[in-house]
């Protein structure tokens, strides 16, 4: 059976993806293996996927990556606070395009040239959604930094990083531009910023520091992935990071099983501003924090 035929079958059964063992069954039919890049349409969004990529395989086969996390995130942001979202580490645009259905403006930052080209192509496939792509990374100061880029054909082009701790095997070192986030927001007149998503493979603390003025002024909702490397870097910034996030409440996106069978995602409150566990976290300002009622999807 051809890959396209098997993929169509798996996609037709996508409502079962949240059942325990559902993803394993899907992988048996459509392996994460080399194939022609495929354009799929999920919830009205057209996107080209490379099945060797973990993220893109999920978009193609399961009709979305971090679908429930995105739904939960958006459910907590009031309509009046859906003006501009910054997607830092946008990859091929899976999150950016989803967010563009809910926000007036989405600005997608992606420094990896190979990925940026595909991001622009996916944005062009969806002319009704307003996403502006910027070919740069964000940091705590403007610079040109070494970026550890996965080699072509490895299936993980989207997991490059400015953090050497995240350098993939056989990484190609290239020098790429980064800008201070507050400077970009001011120079491009992007504010007010109502939400920020950060997934930059260990470079999250530098991004947060570079957006300190924006965070303090606009109090956006912040979704960030924290690894062990990230948590160590956060400790190094000490009280300054706590000052930036003063007034925020921190939650962890936590997986759960309903009736031992159905995969869900819950928001679990964390003690203090930071946690010591690798996970995706949500920082909510006081006006959004009141929306959390043991939220789960």
Torsion of CA 86, 89, 93, 99, to 10 degrees: -30
How many CB atoms are closer than 10 A to CB 255? 11
Under 8 Å between Cβ of 244 and 208: yes
pLDDT at 182 over 70: yes
Q: Do 92 and 203 lie in a common domain?
A: yes
Q: Do 80 and 172 lie in a common domain?
A: yes
CATH number at residue 122: 3.40.50.150
The pLDDT value given to residue 220: 98
Q: Do 272 and 219 lie in a common domain?
A: yes
Helices 3-12 and 54-61: angle between axes, nearest 10 degrees: 70
Q: Do 117 and 219 lie in a common domain?
A: yes
Strands 84-88 and 143-149, by their bridges, are unpaired
CA 267-87-208 angle, to 5 degrees, is 75
pLDDT at 56 over 70: yes
Q: Which of 97, 95, 136 is nearest to 113 (CA)?
A: 136
Q: Is residue 115 part of a domain?
A: yes
- How far, in Å, CA of 107 to CA of 129, rounded? 12
User: pLDDT tens-digit profile of 129-140?
Assistant: 999 999 999 999
Q: Find where tokens 């190094």 sit.
A: 236
Q: Is residue 296 part of a domain?
A: no
Work out the pLDDT band at 202, boundaries 50, 70, 90. Answer: confident
Q: Do 73 and 53 lie in a common domain?
A: no
Which domain range does residue 237 map to? 67-289
Q: Do 233 and 187 lie in a common domain?
A: yes
């Amino acid at each position: 059976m051809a890959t396209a035929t098997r993929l169509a079958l798996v996609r037709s059964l996508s409502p079962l993806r949240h059942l325990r063992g559902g993803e394993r069954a899907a992988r048996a039919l459509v392996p994460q293996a080399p194939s022609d890049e495929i354009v799929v349409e999920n919830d009205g969004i057209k996107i080209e996927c490379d099945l060797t990529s973990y993220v893109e395989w999920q978009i193609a086969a399961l009709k979305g990556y971090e679908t429930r996390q995105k739904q939960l995130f958006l459910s907590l942001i009031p309509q009046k606070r859906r003006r501009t979202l910054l997607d830092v580490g946008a990859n091929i645009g899976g999150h950016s395009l989803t967010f563009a259905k809910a926000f007036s403006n989405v600005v997608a930052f992606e420094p990896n040239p190979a990925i940026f080209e595909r991001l622009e192509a996916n944005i062009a496939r969806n002319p009704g959604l307003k996403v502006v792509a910027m070919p740069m990374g964000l940091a705590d100061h403007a610079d040109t930094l070494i970026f550890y880029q996965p080699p072509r054909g490895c299936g993980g082009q989207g997991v490059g990083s400015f953090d050497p701790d995240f350098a993939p095997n056989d990484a190609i070192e290239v020098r790429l531009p980064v800008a201070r986030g507050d400077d970009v927001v001011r120079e491009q007149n992007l504010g007010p910023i109502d939400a920020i998503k950060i997934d930059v493979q260990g470079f999250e603390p530098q991004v947060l520091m570079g957006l300190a003025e924006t965070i303090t002024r606009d109090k956006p909702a912040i979704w960030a992935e924290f690894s062990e490397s990230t948590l160590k870097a956060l400790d190094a910034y000490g009280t300054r990071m706590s000052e930036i996030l003063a007034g925020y409440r921190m939650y962890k996106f936590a997986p759960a099983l309903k009736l031992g069978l159905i995969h869900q995602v819950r928001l679990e409150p964390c003690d203090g501003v930071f946690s010591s566990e690798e996970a995706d976290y949500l920082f909510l300002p006081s006006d959004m924090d009141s929306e959390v009622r043991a939220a789960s999807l």
